[in-house]
Amino acid sequence: MIDETGKQLGIVPISEALRIAQERDFDLVEVAPAANPPVCRLLNYGKFIYERAKKERLARKSQRAVEIKEIRMRPKIGAHDLAVKTKRSRKFLADGAKVRLRVRFRGRERSYPEIGRALLERVSAELADLAAVEQPPTIDQGARSVYMLLVPRPSTRRSDRKQTETEEKPKKDSERETEGGTTKVGGGKQ
């Protein structure tokens, strides 16, 4: 048995443990029932449950679910359209999301999956500074599409960049340094 301060009281019969708990106005809680003999502790059970729930909420709040964004293309995509899709992929990767690039085929296009693979390789080469390939181009759904999965490199996430920007924030043009410190120059109502 362990008391409310964490001090061990030794092996105590159940009736004695219940009497001590009533005298001290605490609850007797079985902490390790599988141990031989079972370990019990004196504590305020309501407070214990509340603190445990609070810790679980905090742990859930600090967790971030990994988001997978999908960018769909066709094998005959135009150069400008491909640039737009690449730019959108860059934004998703900078936000920390994984990006699934998918090239969808229709009709006779299904006979030439290598065109889709080449397109995916080209896009991944353009995004190489921001992303790493987690899953190489894979044929899916009976050759109806080819997809690959990109993950952001750790140093390229927007949240990391924002922290470094706030640490090394450049001064505005409207501020200049003097011997006594920083002085704001002109422009506003006073």
Domain with CATH 3.30.110.10 in the chain: 68-159
What are the start and end residues of each CATH 3.10.20.80 domain in the chain? 14-62
Residue 119 burial class via C-beta count within 10 angstroms: exposed 0-12, middle 13-18, buried 19 and up: buried
Report the SS3 class of residue 153: coil
Q: Which residue has the tokens 């159940």?
A: 14
Provide the terminal-to-terminal Cα distance of the chain, rounded to the nearest Å.
70
pLDDT number for residue 6? 83
How confident is the model at residue 65, as a pLDDT? 76
Phi, psi (rounded to 5 degrees) for 112? -125, 65
**From the CB of residue 113, how many other CB atoms can be counted at a distance below 10 Å?**
19
Chain-centroid distance of CA 99 in Å reads 14
- Distance from C-alpha of 188 to C-alpha of 190, rounded to nearest angstrom: 6
Give the fold, CATH level 3, of 14-62: Ubiquitin-like (UB roll) (3.10.20)
| E strand residue ranges, the chain | 27-32, 39-43, 68-73, 98-104, 131-140, 145-152, 175-178, 181-184
Q: Quote helix, strand, coil % in the chain, to nearest 5.
A: 40, 25, 30
Model pLDDT, residue 5: 83
The answer as to CATH 3.30.110.10 being correct for domain 68-159 is yes
For the chain (190 residues), the mean pLDDT of every run of 10, in chain order, is 84 88 88 86 88 89 83 94 94 92 92 92 93 91 88 72 54 51 51
What is the reported pLDDT for 89? 93
Q: What does the pLDDT read at residue 11?
A: 87
* Length reported for the chain: 190
User: pTM of the prediction?
Assistant: 0.53
